[in-house]
Homo-oligomer: A and B are copies of this chain.
């Protein structure tokens, strides 16, 4: 774990918390360049924007603006939760070489697909990330099921 990993997961968690406080789904993400620059950050906007596609990672990429893969291929993607198939596919499209997640106890997304494509995946097993999802799912199980297509 690097210094940037601590910073990246802190920002992703702050994004998740912001989502929770907005009445949304508390999953956050952050994109940090290998030179240390924060390229983007965002959180799930299903409730806030009535959007199916703005998962935390997509929201983060969207907030980062229009970037070529020459930049995104030098970034680490941070997410408080294991990325779903859509977000996994976006990371592959943008040639993200390294993904750091808060946890995968709540949900396991496309981890096998990342491994197959040699994307490094690090699970920080972060208690804050697990706790906020446990609390949220207990409060709004139907919203969580909707977000993962159940």
Contacts and interface: CB of A to CB of B under 8 A. Distances in A.
Contact of A51 (B62, B86, B89, B150): B62
B84 A89 contact: yes
A94 interface: yes
Contact of A85 (B52, B73, B93): B93
Interface stretch (A9-17, A64-72, A121-129, A130-138): A64-72
**Most chain B CB within a 10 A radius of its CB, from A51, A86, A110, A148:** A86
Contacts of A67: 52
B69 A50 contact: no
Given A89-B87, A89-B89, A150-B69, A52 B62 contact: yes
A58 interface: yes
B93 A65 contact: no
Given A69-B150, A89-B110, A90-B89, A52 B46 contact: no
Interface in A19-67: 46, 50-54, 58, 61-62, 64-67
Interface of A: 46, 50-54, 58, 61-62, 64-69, 72-73, 84-90, 92-95, 110, 113, 146, 148-150
17 contacts: A50-B65, A51-B62, A52-B64, A52-B65, A52-B66, A52-B67, A53-B53, A54-B62, A58-B58, A72-B149, A85-B89, A85-B92, A85-B93, A86-B86, A89-B89, A89-B110, A93-B149
